[in-house]
Amino acid sequence: MGVNPAPPAGPPDPPPPADLSVPGFISPLQSALPDAVTQVSYWVGDWTMIVATNRLLDVMRHLRTAQEASFDACCDVTATDWPPRAERFDVSYALFSTRHRHRVRVKVRVADSQAVPSVTSVWPSANWLEREVFDMFGIPFDGHPDLRRILMPDEWQGHPQRKDYPLEGPGEMLLENPMDWLRLRYEP
């Protein structure tokens, strides 16, 4: 097997090939909100925009309302954990337009316990999806109407989808002494 390589520090996010035409909604967004989009990437047919966290809501409102974009459906909100990176989480939004039938992925990078502005005011469908990201990764969402755990029990400790969370779960302590395990939550 040899020496384990260092864990990956992020996705490649390759730039689009030069001979590929960029979708029509990207350049109006860049001129309406300069500096909001830090990177545009393309991979196997998917366009991705990486956005500054503090500009996320402006970008999302623009994508929702602008004629040439009109992304009226927020299909998915999820996150990826890249522990070696300082901003360890990628929060990604899969958007779809029922009018133009096109898709885009918007990503923001956040550090541990750094809040992401909630997009529930733009798409109500993000409500449960953001709750799941909060539950599974521990990423708080600013302005979310009802930020609770959704799949794990309310008193659960830790966030299972983080890379440093073991597959077996919290281990023997939960099985042997569940009360002690629960108490940890309230006594730091």
Partner 1 sequence: MSLFDTDELVINMGPQHPSTHGVLRVVLRLDGERVVGADVVIGYLHRGIEKLSEHRDWQQIVMLTDRMDYVSAATSNLGYCETVEKLMQIEVPRRARYIRTILSELQRIASHNLWLGTHAMDIGAMTVFLYNFRERELILDLFEEFCGARLTYSSMRIGGLPLDIPSGWARKVSAFCDLFETKIPEYEDLLTHNRIWKERTRNIGVISGADAIAIGLTGPPLRGSGVPRDVRKDEPYAAYDEFDFDVPIGSAGDIYDRYLVRLEEFRQSLRIIRQAIAGLPEGPVVGKVPRLIKPPAGETYHAIESPKGELGFFIVSDGRSNVPYRFRVRPPSFCNLQALPRLIKGHLVADVVAMIGSIDIVLGEVDR
Q: CA-to-CA distance for 38 and 146, rounded, in angstroms?
A: 30
Q: CA-to-CA distance for 62 and 69, rounded, in angstroms?
A: 8
Q: List residues bridging with 27 in a β-sheet.
A: none
Distance of closest approach, residue 20 Cβ to partner 1, in angstroms = 15
Question: Which position among 31, 101, 113, 164 is part of the footprint of partner 1 (CB under 8 A)?
Answer: 101
Footprint of partner 1 on 36-55 (CB under 8 A): 43-46, 48
Helix or strand holding residue 128 (H, E)? helix 126-137
CB 75 within 8 A of CB 52: no
Give the contact letters, 53-92, x = binds to partner 1 (CB under 8 A), - = no. -------------------xxxxx-x-xx----------x
Question: Which position among 16, 30, 105, 112 is part of the footprint of partner 1 (CB under 8 A)?
Answer: 105
Handedness of CA 129, 135, 136, 141 (dihedral sign): positive
Q: Which is nearer to partner 1, 114 or 161 (CB)?
A: 161
Binders of partner 1: how many residues, by CB under 8 A?
A: 40
Cα-based distances in Å from 105 to 116, 160, 165: 16, 24, 27
123 is a contact residue toward partner 1 (CB under 8 A): yes
Binding site for partner 1 (CB under 8 A): 5, 8, 11-12, 14, 43-46, 48, 72-76, 78, 80-81, 92, 94, 98, 101, 103, 105, 123-125, 127-129, 136, 149-153, 160-161, 165, 167
